[in-house]
Amino acid sequence: MASTTDTEKHPRGLYVLFFTEMWERFSYYGMRAILLLYLIKSAAEGALGLPEDTSGAIYGLYTSSVYLLTLPGGWIADNMLGQKKAIWWGGIVIMIGHILLAIPGSNPIFFLGLCTVAVGTGLLKPNISSIVGDLYPEGGARRDAGFSIFYIGINLGSFLGMTIVGYLGEKVGWHYGFGAAAVAMFLGLVGFRLNSKYLDGLGDPPMVKSKPTFIYVVIGLLLVIAALLVSGVLNAISLAEVMKYVIVTITILYFFYIGMLDKTLSIVERKRVAVLFVFFIGAALFWSGFEQAGSSLTIFADRHTDRVIGGWEMPASWFQTANAFFILVFSAPIGALWVYLNRKKINPYTPVKFGLGLIQMGLGFLVMYWAAQYAVEGIKVGLGWLTLTYLLHTLGELFLSPVGLSTYTKLAPKKYYSQMMGLWFVAASLGNLIAGVFAGNFNEENVAEMPSLFLQVCLFGVGFGIVMILFYKPFKNWMGGIQ
Ligand code: GLN
């Protein structure tokens, strides 16, 4: 069993997971940083030259599927493979996906690559996060601290990936960027395999394995969607519309089944599931604003921001590194702030942190509302606007995301551990889809609408944030004593 020598030190296994996730996020965010640009930019620039609405829908569908597939990915680990094998196979599938993307000149292979990366990430992402929770069976503040360190790994990978893949993709050739993502995942797999001894006794296959009926249903659904797309009954835009409802329905059914129908759970456990549902809504709203980093905000960086520094034009995708950079800078101070407030016994309850996270996301869009007014007049704005937005979004993320991850591992009924982790990422799935579809409104003909589009997001974020803060007491009570 992985153990710690003293209460302060973190288990070695954390660093194995840290680096594996770092390389996985390098590949994910690196590729994602250039994905929308690759879809939108013209064939003359070596890209696909698709219209904004189709590109936004494809981008939204891809990023949303990546996180939606964490549900079957969590199920496979809980019921069949165990987390460790799921991570290993997930990583291999992701690497194959990026290799497919790196093959130039064929759209079907490119889209097959996107699907492959999504399936692999669904297997890897929830399970690597749930093993982090397993490293700290006692839960509590040490588990939170473990997740904060893990979160640094995520963002280190994201920063390096966006910088390197972004540069290669935009300045050298798109497919070199995608190839670099494959190499990164390979490095992650090697590190995971070589150091697997530090995870002994964790994430092993379950004693009693379930029949894969659920997975057959998922595969069946995916085949139906593929058939509808290939036959032209649905296109990317209409599928994205349908997907929103599909995700909301799946989520409600899943929560309803676990919280209401599974009679083996106690009342306390069910109340916790209800709180997780509220956190789900908060997180979905947060991500639908935040995840515009890769969609509308990158379009804004590309078209309306003056990116020339000393005669050299910075790649538009590099803006997205601001988020990872600020996480690296602010993780430790914010972690220390929680410890300090805890000591003073005034550490905000999780629902309040969620509320504050949402408000900061909303304020980031208030900044964009101003910036967009200059853009409407045809002025290319300075680098500061987007940077300030990313700062606010990142601070909001630090209030909400590591806390949410950790809280999900603490409140989840044991039996549904990785699936609950999957549900946390489904909130990101919904958010990403909305963020992608929303970016479809940002075409060059209706630039005038930009300020009001940004203002809408601001109002949603701030509004729901205030609601979460006002109602923190019942939510906190339903957590049943878990901090
Ligand atoms: N940036 C974090 C990650 O990649 C959170 C992403 C999300 O949940 N939307 O894990």
- List the chain domain ranges: 1-234, 272-483
pTM here is 0.88
96-100, 196-200, 290-294: which has the minimum mean pLDDT?
A: 290-294
Among candidates 195, 165, 178, which has minimal Cα distance to 87? 195
Question: Environment class of residue 105 by beta-carbon count within 10 Å: exposed (0-12), middle (13-18) or buried (19+)?
Answer: exposed
pLDDT of residue 102: 95
Closest alpha carbon to 399 in 444, 445, 353: 353
What does pLDDT average to over the chain? 91
What is the CATH class of 1-234? mainly alpha
Cβ distance 33 to 320 under 8 Å? Answer: yes
User: Is pLDDT of 356 > 80?
Assistant: yes
Read off the pLDDT of each residue in 374-403 and give the average, rounded to a whole number.
Answer: 94
Report whether 98 contacts 178 (CB < 8 A): yes
**Biggest distance spanned by C-alpha atoms of the chain:** 66
Q: Is the pLDDT of residue 384 over 70?
A: yes
How far, in Å, is the centroid of ligand 1 from the Cα of 344? 30
> What's the whole-number mean pLDDT along residues 204-225?
89
Task: State the Cα–Cα distance between residues 257 and 270, nearest whole angstrom.
Answer: 10
pLDDT band at 400 (very low <50, low <70, confident <90, very high): very high
**Does 19 contact ligand 1 (Cβ within 6 A)?**
no
Mean pLDDT score, 306-323: 90
* Span from the CA of 287 to the centroid of ligand 1 (angstroms): 9
CA distance 125 to 91: 9
With the most atoms of ligand 1 within 8 angstroms of its CB, the residue from 401, 407, 426, 434 to mutate is 401
Which pLDDT does position 475 carry in this prediction?
Answer: 87
Q: Tell me whether domains 1-234 and 272-483 share a fold.
A: yes
Fold type of domain 272-483: Growth Hormone; Chain: A; (1.20.1250)
At 304, the pLDDT band (50, 70, 90 cuts) reads: very high
Q: What pLDDT shows up at residue 418? A: 81
Q: How confident is the model at residue 286 (pLDDT cuts 50, 70, 90)?
A: very high
Closest by CA to 188, choosing from 375, 69, 30, 48, is 30
pLDDT score for 443: 77
The answer to whether the CB of 154 is under 6 A from ligand 1 is yes
Helix (H, G, I), strand (E, B) or coil at 312: strand
| Poorest-pLDDT segment among 92-96, 206-210, 292-296, 438-442 | 438-442
Question: Is the CB–ligand 1 distance for residue 287 below 6 Å?
Answer: yes
CA distance 44 to 54: 19
Q: Which residue has the higher pLDDT, 7 or 330?
A: 330
Return d(Cα 137, Cα 7) in angstroms, integer. 12
As a whole-number percent, the residues of the chain with pLDDT over 70 amount to: 98
Alpha carbon nearest to ligand 1 atom 7, residue = 428
Atom of ligand 1 nearest to the CA of 155: 1
Nearest residue by C-alpha to atom 4 in ligand 1: 154
Give the pLDDT mean for 349-377. Answer: 95
Chain segment 455-478, per-residue pLDDT in tens: 999 999 999 999 999 999 988 888
> Which pairs with CB-CB distance under 8 Å and at least 24 residues apart come from 113-117?
113/178, 114/58, 114/62, 115/65, 117/27, 117/28, 117/31, 117/66, 117/93
Q: Whose CA is nearest to atom 6 of ligand 1?
A: 428
Provide the pLDDT confidence category of residue 1 given band limits of 50, 70 and 90.
very low
Return the number of other C-beta atoms located less than 10 Å from residue 195's C-beta. Answer: 16
- State pLDDT tens for residues 107-149: 889 999 999 999 999 999 999 999 999 999 877 778 878 888 9
Confidence check: pLDDT of 184 > 50:
yes
Task: List the structure tokens of 76.
Answer: 């496979």
The label of the residue with tokens 């996906």 reads 97
Query: Across residues 280-288, what is the average pLDDT?
Result: 96
Residues 6+ positions from 201 with CB-CB distance below 8 Å: 1, 2
Ligand 1 centroid distance, CA of 323 (Å):
11
Give the whole-angstrom CA distance, residue 154 versus residue 395: 16
Please state which of the ranges 61-65, 142-146, 277-281, 355-359 shows the lowest mean pLDDT: 142-146
Q: Give the dihedral sign, CA 304/307/311/317.
A: negative
Q: How far is CA 171 from CA 35, 163, 315, in A?
A: 14, 11, 8
Tell me what pLDDT residue 8 has. 61
The yes-or-no verdict on residue 6 having pLDDT over 70 is no
